Amino acid sequence: MRTVTVVGASLAGLSAARALRAEGFDGRLVVIGAEQHLPYDRPPLSKEFLTGKADESQLALSDDEERAELDAEWLLGVRATGLDARGRTVVLADGRTVASDGVVIATGARARPLPGPWLRGVHTLRTLDDARELRDRLTEGRHRIVVVGGGFIGAETASSCAALGHDVTVVEAATLPLMPQLGRDMAEFCAGLHQRGGVRLVCGTGVAGLRDDGTGDGGAVTGVALADGRVLPADLVVVGIGAVPETGWLSGSTLAVDDGVLCDDGGVTALPQVVAVGDVARIGGVRHEHWTSATQQPVVAARNLLAGRTVEHLGGTPYFWSDQYGARIQFAGRRHGGETVRIAEGSPEEGSFLALYEDESGTTAALAVDRPRPFMRVRRGLRMG
């Protein structure tokens, strides 16, 4: 291969560029990014960056020396709008095209919005620009904030806003936050973290709509109307109801797309010399929106891309973590739904514990709260099992 183009200047895109060079690719390497920014770390956006404990320089995922070694062409601030799969040519919004021998799709995902018109004071938290805008608003005095969605992004954002002294309410449509990921018992513990942090949690009802100040199109939000008829006053609303994979630019490319780019378990698509990694990739039928996936998948996908076929398959144990209300939550493994949960160390009442998900086959997953060392031991065992 003489030219490989990575579409997406994300963690996954940067990891793919690193992996290509590590595998010996010494040709032209092009990285295309819709944002103006070089690759940056997203997890701190809802935590240290939002609370002012980290600045933008601390988010950078690479430095000048590494970028010089990568010897990549960075085309930033321009979106990819199409992929001519036959010629493996990436079409850009400004009219340019990049012809390639291989393509890595790493376009990630965008925040899922609430239905209806967007109002002033309504925010998502997916990009650095999103975080900048929200952080600026949080410094303008004490606000009544409603966070829609009790998943990890919603919980982390609520925790950060509460730490800054704001009045915060979290709305979660499910009976408990994080039920699908953790199961009822552990979801109840996470629900208790909100209370511990001084945040109100409203579960079991969705959002019917937003109230505004009546100034017309583009007015300011004043409240959140719930499906059960209540209205929560709000100066700011943060929407954290999931993400949508960025696949629209692939329309007409003949690539198979269904809640992400469909790939085999090596990140290889149905098209020759096209692989997908990170949040946009549906690998083996699953999309993994986690930091570790964005670093591990590109290593395997790069090898397969350079080989021209699937010579290596993705393995490993799913892993994610979250920091909220002063607690570090770590989860590894696969919860299938029929396991029993056993507390192996500590206790939820103490606020620090290791929980094991077990079925007849043994331990399938582990959850730890502020128990990093025993958790890592279990995680290593899950990887080996």
Distance in angstroms (rounded) separating the CA atoms of residues 274 and 293: 18
What are φ and ψ of residue 29, in 5° steps? -125, 120
Over residues 33-51, the pLDDT tens digits come to 999 999 999 999 999 999 9
pLDDT over 80 (residue 265): yes
Burial of residue 269 (number of CB atoms within 10 Å: 0-12, 13-18, 19+):
buried
Q: CA nearest 159: which of 171, 175, 176, 147? A: 147
For residue 284, the model assigns a pLDDT of: 86
pLDDT over 90 (residue 338): no
Average predicted confidence (pLDDT) for the chain: 94
For residue 382, the model assigns a pLDDT of: 87
Q: CA nearest 143: which of 84, 222, 245, 258? A: 222
Helix 11-22 to helix 291-307 angle, to the nearest 10 degrees?
A: 40
pLDDT over 90 (residue 325): yes
Distance in angstroms (rounded) separating the CA atoms of residues 213 and 328: 39
pLDDT over 80 (residue 168): yes
CB atoms within 10 A of CB 179: 18
What are φ and ψ of residue 183, in 5° steps? 85, 170
Residue 76 gets the label, from left (phi > 0), alpha (psi -120 to 50) or beta, of beta
All domains in the chain, ordered by first residue: 3-110+243-307 (3.50.50.60), 113-239 (3.50.50.60), 326-384 (3.30.390.30)
For residue 384, the model assigns a pLDDT of: 52
The β-bridge partners of 3 are 28
* CA 314 vs CA 284, 287, 333: distances in Å: 9, 13, 15
For residue 242, the model assigns a pLDDT of: 93
**Run of H or E residues at 75:** strand 72-76
Residues 288-299, mean pLDDT to the nearest whole number = 93
Tokens (6 digits) for 299: 């290593």
Over residues 205-256, the pLDDT tens digits come to 999 999 998 876 668 999 999 999 999 999 999 999 999 999 999 998 889 9
Provide CB contacts within 8 A for 286, sequence distance 6+.
none
Residue 292 is which amino acid?
Answer: T
Q: What is the pTM of this model?
A: 0.94
pLDDT over 60 (residue 385): no
pLDDT band per the 50, 70, 90 thresholds, residue 279: very high
For residue 112, the model assigns a pLDDT of: 94
Residues 277-288, mean pLDDT to the nearest whole number = 93
Over residues 78-102, the pLDDT tens digits come to 999 999 877 689 999 999 999 999 9
pLDDT above 70: percentage of residues in the chain: 98
For residue 65, the model assigns a pLDDT of: 96
For residue 280, the model assigns a pLDDT of: 97
Work out the widest C-alpha separation in the chain, in whole angstroms.
61
